């Protein structure tokens, strides 16, 4: 059978390319391996440098989630130096994080995910024509509107950070900016435009308030059928088409979820500590084992490297104990031995488990009955995960579900800024260890720092993509995408679009190439970019 490479769809990328190799037998994926194919060594670059290096360097790890890296880098220094944070600074950091995340929702949905549903595989489905009409890349009727609207929230980011991407406005002790009334008013106006251009008329087909009344999966289904406007909105269409196309039937993953949580509350984190972080979050942290929620403890995070291209490191070390990376010899996917080292990504584990991170993990934590009053309390995904379990569909629904709430938060936080208050309290620099974390649009992101003799001794970054695309661990347990791919049915092995859809539902921020191989003969069936 001839080998062919198809560029079936675009995806945003960050640390190089992701190659996915799947073996197919009788129309089913029997094994899957993920390979991250680029190394830059940022942690090595920061060693021995100014303790604030992370504020400049880490946003450049990923241009898609640079603001999230900045949120972590400043928090890590806050905990290491024991800074004081004025409420205004906490609000402005939360606004930065939220605007980056909300811009990513339409940008990701239209430019990366939805174009897939226009694949000919679904041509026989009744809703296919409508999907193609709206979501075909560039020419779809709502594609361009969504993409254009995605630039608006980051205009708000720029009002406070100067620019997006790649500002460094969050600094230990607060923020650089001291906005004025005209910045706040303009920010409200830009967000209103985002709502009026896209969020309400095109995406929801109803008011934000109406949407936020949805508390259960049955409510959601009733909402779709409530009127034509909601049924025919892009969200209404996604729900109907998603179920019609069977997206709720595959791509389950590891079934364990981890969120570090984010949006530190203005009144609960003025004295930043690692211990005080969980209770100060507005979007809560936690570990969900499929049945129960557990409190998050960063000391339970570790990384495995048995299958990663790093030498001189033990498996299962906490980031503070990890050495700086020693790159090993890498191979192309073709030449990789999956019993040995095969990826630049490490394999992160929580309490020993591979975990899915991302919007689905976040909204599951939002449903934790133990959440405090100042935290998001939204039972919807507790219900959905019980009734439907994780799948491509639930993952995407979780991603887009955040937009209306974030819109409200951004406006609320803007209105809470006290123009007479402080924005920055100059910290005293000292040696020590720090931990900073957040939720990037695509999942849990954390930085660990150790400062000694006034310079960085160790800096470890663990990105959401690493959690999701990571390889097998030392015990041979697969990473979340590897696991989500295993067992899925492939209709046409020469065009395994299902593989692409599963990988993309994780929003890995890497360009993935999927290589499909026949399990018995080992022959490569197809290869395509996604």
Partner 1 sequence: MANVLWLQGGACSGNTMSFLNAEEPTVVELITDFGLNILWHPTTGLQIGDQVQDLLKDIIAGKVQMDILVFEGSIIQGPNGSGSMNYFADRPMKDWVKELSEVAGYVVAIGDCATWGGIPAVPPNPSDSTGMQFLKKEKGGFLGANYVSKGGLPVINVPGCPAHPDWITQILVAISVGRIGDVLIDEYHRPKTFFTDFVQTGCTNVTNFAQKVDGHFGKRSGCLFYEVGCRGPLTRASCNNILWNRQSSKTRANHPCLGCTEPGFPHHDLMKGSIFKTMKYMGVFPKEVPHGRTKLAYYMEAGFQKVMPKNHKVMEASK
Q: Does residue 168 interact with partner 1 by CB under 8 A?
A: yes
Q: Hunting for tokens 């034509």 — which residue is that?
A: 228
Strand pairing category for 511-518 and 524-529: antiparallel
25, 28, 30, 39: which one binds partner 1 (CB under 8 A): 39
According to the binding rule CB under 8 A, does residue 20 interact with partner 1?
no
Pattern 253-292, partner 1, x by CB under 8 A = ----------------------------------------
Site for partner 1 in 130-159 (CB under 8 A): 137-138, 144, 147-148, 150-151, 154-155, 157-159
Nearest residue (CB) to partner 1, 349 versus 504? 504
Member of 1, 4, 222, 289 binding partner 1 (CB under 8 A): 4
Give the total residue count for the chain: 530
d(CA 369, CA 492): 43
**Residue pair 146/198 in contact by the 8 Å Cβ criterion:** yes
Among 244, 297, 422, 489, binds partner 1 (CB under 8 A): 422
Cis peptide before 165 (omega within 30 of 0): yes
Q: Does 42 bind partner 1 (CB under 8 A)?
A: yes
By CB under 8 A, residue 167 contacts partner 1: yes
3-class SS of residue 367: coil
By beta-carbon proximity to Fe ion, the closer residue of 65 and 380 is 65
329 is an interface residue for partner 1 by CB under 8 A: yes
End-to-end CA distance of the chain: 21
Residue 36 beta carbon to Fe ion: minimum distance, rounded to whole angstroms: 12
3-class SS of residue 165: coil
Element (H, E) at 302: strand 301-304
Residue 279 Cα distances to 195, 241, 267, angstroms: 31, 39, 11
Shortest Cβ contact with Fe ion: which residue? 62
From 286-294, 360-368, 371-379, 420-428, span contacting partner 1 (CB under 8 A): 420-428
Q: For 402-471, what is the HEC assignment?
A: HHHHHHHHHHHHHHHCCCCCCCECCCCCCCEEEEEEEEECCEEEEEEEEEECCEEEEEEEECHHHHHHCC
Task: State the binding partner of 117 from Fe ion, partner 1, none, CB within 5 to 8 A by kind.
Answer: none
Residues 52, 192, 216, 377: which binds partner 1 (CB under 8 A)?
52
Site for partner 1 in 75-104 (CB under 8 A): 86, 89
Given 186, 268, 321, 457, the residue binding partner 1 (CB under 8 A): 186
* Interaction of residue 327 with partner 1, rule CB under 8 A: yes
Give the range of 192-200, 271-279, 314-322, 415-423 binding partner 1 by CB under 8 A.
415-423
Contact (CB, 8 A) for 469 and 11? no
């Amino acid at each position: 059978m001839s080998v062919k490479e198809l560029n079936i769809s675009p995806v945003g990328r960050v640390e190089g390319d992701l190659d996915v190799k799947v073996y197919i037998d009788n129309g089913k994926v029997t094994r899957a391996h993920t390979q991250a194919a680029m190394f830059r060594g940022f942690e090595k670059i920061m060693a021995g440098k100014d303790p604030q290096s992370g504020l400049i360097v880490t946003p450049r790890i990923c241009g898609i989630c640079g603001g999230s890296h900045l949120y972590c880098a400043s928090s890590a220094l806050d905990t290491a130096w024991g800074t004081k944070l004025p409420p205004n600074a906490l609000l402005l950091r939360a606004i930065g994080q939220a605007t980056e995340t909300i811009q990513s929702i339409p940008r990701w949905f239209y430019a990366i995910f939805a174009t897939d549903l226009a694949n000919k595989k679904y041509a026989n489905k009744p809703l296919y024509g409508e999907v193609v009409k709206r979501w075909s890349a560039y020419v779809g009727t709502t594609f361009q509107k969504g993409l254009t609207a995605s630039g608006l929230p980051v205009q708000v980011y720029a009002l406070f950070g100067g620019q997006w991407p790649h500002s460094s406005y969050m600094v230990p002790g607060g923020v650089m900016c001291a906005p004025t009334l005209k910045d706040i008013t303009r920010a409200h106006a830009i967000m209103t435009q985002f709502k009026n251009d896209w969020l309400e008329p095109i995406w929801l087909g109803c008011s934000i308030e109406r949407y936020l009344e949805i508390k259960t999966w049955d409510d959601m289904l009733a909402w779709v059928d409530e009127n034509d406007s909601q049924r025919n909105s892009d969200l209404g269409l996604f729900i109907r088409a998603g179920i019609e196309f069977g997206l709720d039937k595959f791509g389950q993953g590891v079934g364990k979820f981890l969120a570090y949580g984010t949006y530190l509350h203005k009144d609960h984190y003025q004295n930043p500590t690692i211990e005080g972080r969980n209770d100060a979050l507005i979007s809560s942290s936690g570990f969900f084992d499929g049945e129960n929620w557990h409190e998050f403890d960063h000391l339970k995070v570790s990384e495995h490297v048995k299958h990663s291209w790093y030498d001189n490191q033990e498996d299962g070390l906490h980031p503070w104990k990890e050495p700086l990376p020693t790159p090993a010899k890498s191979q192309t996917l073709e030449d990789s031995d999956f019993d040995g080292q095969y990826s630049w990504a490490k394999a992160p584990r929580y309490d020993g488990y591979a975990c899915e991170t991302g919007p689905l993990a976040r909204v599951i934590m939002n449903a934790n009955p133990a959440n405090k009053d100042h935290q998001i309390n939204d039972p919807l995904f507790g219900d959905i995960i019980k009734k439907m379990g994780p799948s491509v569909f639930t993952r995407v629904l979780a991603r887009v579900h955040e937009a209306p709430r974030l819109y409200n938060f951004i406006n609320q936080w803007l209105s809470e800024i006290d123009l007479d208050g402080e924005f920055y309290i100059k910290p005293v620099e000292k040696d020590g260890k720090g931990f900073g974390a957040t939720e990037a649009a695509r999942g849990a992101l954390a930085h660990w720092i150790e400062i000694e003799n006034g310079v960085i001794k160790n800096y470890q970054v663990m990105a959401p993509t690493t959690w999701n695309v990571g390889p097998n661990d030392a015990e041979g347990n697969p990473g979340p995408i590897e696991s989500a791919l295993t067992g899925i049915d492939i209709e046409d092995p020469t065009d395994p679009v299902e593989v692409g859809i599963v990988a993309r539902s994780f929003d890995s921020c890497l360009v993935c190439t999927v290589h499909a191989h026949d399990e018995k003969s080992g022959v490569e069936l197809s290869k395509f970019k996604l």
